[in-house]
Amino acid sequence: MKALILAGGKGTRLRPFSFSRAKQLLPVANKPVLFYGLEAVREAGIEDVGIVIGEAGEEIKEAVGDGSKWGMKVTYIYQEKPLGLAHAVWMAREFLENSPFVLYLGDNLLLGGIKEFVRLFSQKKPDALILLSPVARPEQFGVATLNKKGQVIGLVEKPKDPPSNLALVGVYIFQPCIFDAISTLTPSGRGELEITDAIQRLVNKDKEVLPFTVSGWWKDTGKKEDLLEANRILLKHLQPVHRGNLKDTIIEGRVSTASGSYLENVRITGPVIIGEKAIIKNTIIHPYTAIGPESCILGCEIGDTIIMSGAEILQVENKITGSLIGEKVRVEKQRNDRELVMALGDYSSLDLP
């Protein structure tokens, strides 16, 4: 079995962050989202992986390399324009050849990985296995309808009037017959070749499309709020490790400090993760905070926030909460009695008197 990971797309919902980096490389719990997908694929025993890339492809290549750090071989497939998931699969047909394959959306997180689903596919050998999850707003996703026997009878992409609350999770497993279905597609109203339409073609031809409802946690990290929620959930499973240098610092709960980090006169309530060579002094850190490598935080109060590498937050007396702070951002000297909620893209500078 092979795997195809999609890491193209423009990430318009994550601007300004996606202006300066691929959305799949935004960090959650101090690790790029894409890396979680690569780990899940490798843990399922898959070593031959294709990654579909677009305009941010060179950045993806630099971060992932040849895949050897995960014990896999990576092949890159270029998609000139984001013309839909089915189009991305079609572009990879030469790489995939006649192999069954996992299709994994690179900005998705699935707690617990995909081993169980790969094993089920290998046992049952359906034409397609689709993962489903009940959601509160199905109109934002591809949606599946099941009959009373639990069989897939319909799929539709982002319907205005959803026929069910079962969203398609961003992981699928296909036999090569999916290419026959894709070859018959025409662009949807969104101008894309939809993978939901291709799966519907399989259903119409009485191919076996096996549904599996995910019982655990799944998140499409397409928006700031999704990244923060994913960060919270992953930090709940954090394994406390202290490799940093701690001076006059009080720690409660699950906290991980990386090598080269220095904390002085800091009070931390976990779960919190602190990256390599971060410097933090005279600061209160509340739960669900991820502080990236080489950040500098002096005289602040922070909680429920992702701070990316190289950021500087200096003498900010307001509590910073529910924020996404980009790489090498600088924030300093903010003084009033209100909490700050921010979304600051890479290399921003904010100086409020």
Tens-digit pLDDT profile for residues 39-94:
999 999 999 999 999 887 888 999 999 999 999 999 999 988 888 999 999 999 99
Residues 6+ away with beta carbon under 8 Å from 201: 181, 184, 185
Q: Please, is 184 exposed, middle or buried when counting C-beta atoms within 10 Å of its C-beta (0-12, 13-18, 19+)? A: exposed
Q: Judge whether 232 lies within some domain.
A: no
Per residue, the 3-state secondary structure of 207-255, as one string, reads CCEEEEECCCCEEECCCHHHHHHHHHHHHHCCCCCECCEEECCEEECCE
Question: Both 143 and 258 in a single domain?
Answer: no
- pLDDT at residue number 336: 56
Question: Both 51 and 200 in a single domain?
Answer: yes
- Average pLDDT score over residue span 22-34: 89
Q: Which two tokens stand for residue 29?
A: 């719990």
* Domain CATH code at residue 79: 3.90.550.10
- pLDDT at residue number 347: 52
pTM for this structure?
0.88
Question: Both 207 and 271 in a single domain?
Answer: no
Q: Judge whether 273 lies within some domain.
A: yes
Question: Both 174 and 257 in a single domain?
Answer: no
Of the ranges 95-109, 202-216, 234-248, 323-337, which one carries the lowest mean pLDDT score?
Answer: 323-337
Question: Both 189 and 52 in a single domain?
Answer: yes
Question: Both 64 and 204 in a single domain?
Answer: yes
- pLDDT at residue number 173: 97
pLDDT of 279 higher than 90 = yes
* Domain CATH code at residue 299: 2.160.10.10
Question: Both 217 and 329 in a single domain?
Answer: no
Among 221, 251, 282, the domain-final residue is: 221
Question: Both 301 and 216 in a single domain?
Answer: no
E strand or H helix at 93: helix 93-96
- pLDDT at residue number 234: 93
Owning domain of residue 288: 238-351
Question: Both 217 and 262 in a single domain?
Answer: no
The total number of structural domains in the chain stands at 2
Alpha-carbon distance of 209 to 207, in angstroms, equals: 6
- pLDDT at residue number 140: 84
